[in-house]
Structure 1
Amino acid sequence: MPEKEDVSAIDRPLWPAVRQGLLNQCPACGAAPLFQRFLRTGSRCAGCGQSWEHHQADDFPAYIVILLLGHILVPLMIEVNFAFAIPMPVQAVLWPGIALVLAIAMIQPVKGAVIAFQWSRRMNGFAIPKD
């Protein structure tokens, strides 16, 4: 009978896991997608069987996206307004549109990175199982 693998000995390096999460891949194996739908994780990884039901990303990915958008858009708006004379009605459509597109593009990779961070640090339901 094969020996049961000691899960406490399995190393979970942070940066490779976060990179996998950013790329919508399972942080544990990298072989299967992390998300079943746009922001919904599957219950288990199809490649390695890792359970994703215990993650608690909650609102943290949205906070990160808002922080990043502010740091991207505010300097961009200042530079564009300094360099060009764009009419205010155009800007009233332009900047919210850019913010919306960037937010939609960033939310899934950021949520994947947060879940991968939780997994690599053994937070919440990703802790070592007790027999």
Structure 2
Amino acid sequence: MAFFTQNPKFDWIFQSGLKGTCPACAKASMFNGWLKLRKTCPECGLDYQFANADDGPAFFALCITAFPLTFFVVWMEVVYSPPWWVHVLTSVPILGVGCLATLRPFKGWLVASQYVNNAIEAGTEGLWAKLNAREKGEG
């Protein structure tokens, strides 16, 4: 636990992702909806074109959120053997709300981590430079 309390980079990523604020200035939201990123930060002008979270938030929501909640649902079935409609009224909403509620912080953490660590997919620097030049009309 000492690593987390003494690592300002981790703390910045964690706070920015949890709150959904811009990883550069932490003043404005990085989101333009529930999961859609803004094109740029309205405060500092950070271009979010670097952000590429892909399926990461869904993966973490399934592994970190849905997996433990599924154990709860199975425990409830084994201990109480409720009728199927009890699972429809309890288990489905618990899993659905649990996963949906964690998607935004997970995406925020991934975007903030990419920004703070200057992350880019290995071997694609040249391709990104060409793509960005083409979009700006330079090439």
Q: Between the two proteins, what is the percent identity of the paired residues?
A: 24
| Residue in 2 that maps onto 1:38 | 34
In the alignment, is residue 51 of structure 1 matched against residue 81 of structure 2?
no
Structure 1 unpaired stretches of 5+: 1-11
- The Cα shift of 1:56 comes to 0.8
When you count helix as a share of all residues, which structure comes out higher? Answer: 2
Of 88-97 and 30-39, the range deviating more from structure 2: 88-97
- The Cα shift of 1:85 comes to 4.3
* TM-score normalised to structure 1 length: 0.76
In the alignment, is residue 19 of structure 1 matched against residue 25 of structure 2?
no
In the alignment, is residue 76 of structure 1 matched against residue 72 of structure 2?
yes
The answer as to whether partners of 1:17 and 1:27 remain within 8 angstroms in 2 is yes
Task: Kindly indicate whether structure 1 or structure 2 has the higher relative contact order, using CA contacts under 8 Å at least 6 residues apart.
Answer: 1
CA RMSD of aligned residues (A): 2.4
In the alignment, is residue 104 of structure 1 matched against residue 100 of structure 2?
yes
Q: Number of residue pairs matched? A: 116
C-alpha distance after superposition, 1:46-87 (max 9, x if no partner):
111111112110011100001022332123224433553422
In the alignment, is residue 65 of structure 1 matched against residue 61 of structure 2?
yes
The one-letter code matched in structure 2 to 1:60 is G
In the alignment, is residue 115 of structure 1 matched against residue 114 of structure 2?
no
The one-letter code matched in structure 2 to 1:15 is D
Structure 2 unpaired stretches of 5+: 1-7, 126-139
The answer as to whether partners of 1:14 and 1:120 remain within 8 angstroms in 2 is no
Q: Distance in 1 between matches of 2:88 and 2:28?
A: 41
The answer as to whether partners of 1:22 and 1:113 remain within 8 angstroms in 2 is yes
